[in-house]
């Protein structure tokens, strides 16, 4: 009886070994399926992955493939696997160009998490907010920026993520972080938005978006939108009517100006 059981086990192990050997020869990489891309061509990812089409799907070094792909800072690998018989499946998150920062004569392009995607000599025709007042000690492509004031980086990430969520990012021309307690931004059409500090920033951006849409629809002259309280939006036109807009960089505090014109605007 024992010999019979051992014989069966030996036969099973032999079959398993045979399947593995055959599998290594049959299940070769033939295709690569890439998901999660918006702007990039899947062929770029396939080239970066550097997969051998003579290799079994069971032998692919997923860690090395991940490192190969993420050598391009625009790509973050979410998951790598295989689909039998012959396909490697790669799921990505494509990092989005979300901000431009001037540093040492260079223009750094970063995503909403503050990851530096590339360095340029100039912004060119890229439409992203220019970040002013941010003091950097250094940076590394594919990684974050080293800020002299960590609170500034926290504020920048929260702002960029919030603007993306509210679909307002491309409407903003400049974000000023000189004073994290009195942040403000400029829209591409000339409105200044006083944000105050980072508290209730998500709600403040909702107020900004709603108020700005109303003002534009009513044809209001670019002026100042104050949302620093987090519970209302106030608007006042520039003092000289159709003249140049005063950025009010000295604005402090978390309460709207007493001379704010009209009633608060509601989303």
Name which residue leads in pLDDT, 54 or 239. 54
CATH second-level architecture of 27-94?
A: Roll (3.10)
What is the model's pLDDT at position 265? 58
32: left (phi over 0), alpha (psi -120 to 50) or beta: beta
* Mean pLDDT of the chain, nearest integer: 85
Number of CB atoms found within 10 A of residue 2's CB: 6
The sign of the CA dihedral 66, 69, 74, 78 is negative
CA dihedral 32, 73, 99, 41 (to 10 degrees): -30
Output the CA torsion 244→247→251→256 (10° steps): 70
| Per-residue pLDDT, 64 | 97
What percent of the chain is predicted at pLDDT more than 70? 79
pLDDT at 238: 76
pLDDT of residue 79: 97
Query: Residue 227 above 90 pLDDT?
Result: yes
- Residue 90 in this model has a pLDDT that exceeds 90: yes
Read off the pLDDT of residues 8-59 as tens digits, 9 standing for 90 and up.
Answer: 555 555 544 555 554 456 789 999 999 999 999 999 999 999 999 889 999 9
pLDDT tens track for 58-84: 999 999 999 999 999 999 999 999 999
Q: Specify the pLDDT at position 186.
A: 97
113 pLDDT exceeds 70? yes
Alpha-carbon distance of 206 to 83, in angstroms, equals: 43
pLDDT tens per residue, range 123-174: 999 999 999 999 999 999 999 999 999 999 999 999 999 999 999 999 999 9
- Identify the pLDDT of residue 240: 46
DSSP 3-state of 231: coil
Task: Give domain limits for the chain.
Answer: 27-94, 96-158, 181-267
Q: Tell me: the pLDDT tens digits for 168-225?
A: 999 999 999 999 999 999 999 999 999 999 999 999 999 999 999 999 999 998 999 9
Taking residues 89-113, what's their average pLDDT? 96
pLDDT value for 53: 86
- Give the pTM: 0.78
Q: Which residue has the higher pLDDT, 240 or 117?
A: 117
pLDDT at 259 over 80: no
């Amino acid at each position: 009886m024992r010999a019979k059981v051992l014989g069966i086990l030996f036969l099973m192990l032999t079959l398993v070994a045979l399947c593995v050997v055959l599998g290594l020869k049959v299940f070769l990489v033939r295709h690569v399926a890439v998901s999660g891309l918006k702007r990039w061509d899947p062929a770029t990812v396939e080239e970066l992955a550097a997969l051998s089409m003579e290799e079994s799907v069971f032998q692919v070094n997923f860690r090395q493939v991940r490192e190969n792909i993420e050598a391009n800072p625009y790509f973050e690998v979410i998951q790598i696997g295989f689909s039998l018989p012959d396909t490697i499946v790669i799921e990505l998150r494509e990092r989005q160009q979300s901000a431009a920062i001037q540093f040492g004569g260079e223009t750094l392009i970063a995503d909403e998490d503050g990851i530096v995607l590339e360095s340029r000599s100039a912004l060119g025709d890229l439409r992203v907010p220019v970040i002013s007042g941010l003091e950097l000690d250094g940076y590394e492509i594919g990684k974050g920026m080293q800020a002299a004031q960590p609170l500034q980086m926290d504020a920048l990430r929260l702002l960029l993520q919030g603007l993306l969520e509210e679909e307002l990012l491309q409407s903003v021309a400049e974000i000023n972080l000189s004073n994290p307690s009195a942040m403000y931004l400029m829209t591409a059409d000339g409105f200044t938005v006083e944000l105050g500090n980072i508290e209730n920033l998500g709600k403040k951006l909702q107020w900004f978006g709603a108020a700005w849409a109303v003002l534009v629809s009513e044809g209001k002259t670019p002026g100042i939108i104050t949302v620093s309280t987090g519970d209302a939006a106030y608007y006042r036109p520039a003092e000289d009517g159709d003249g140049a807009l005063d950025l009010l960089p000295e604005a402090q505090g978390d309460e709207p100006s007493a001379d704010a014109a009209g009633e608060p605007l509601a989303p």
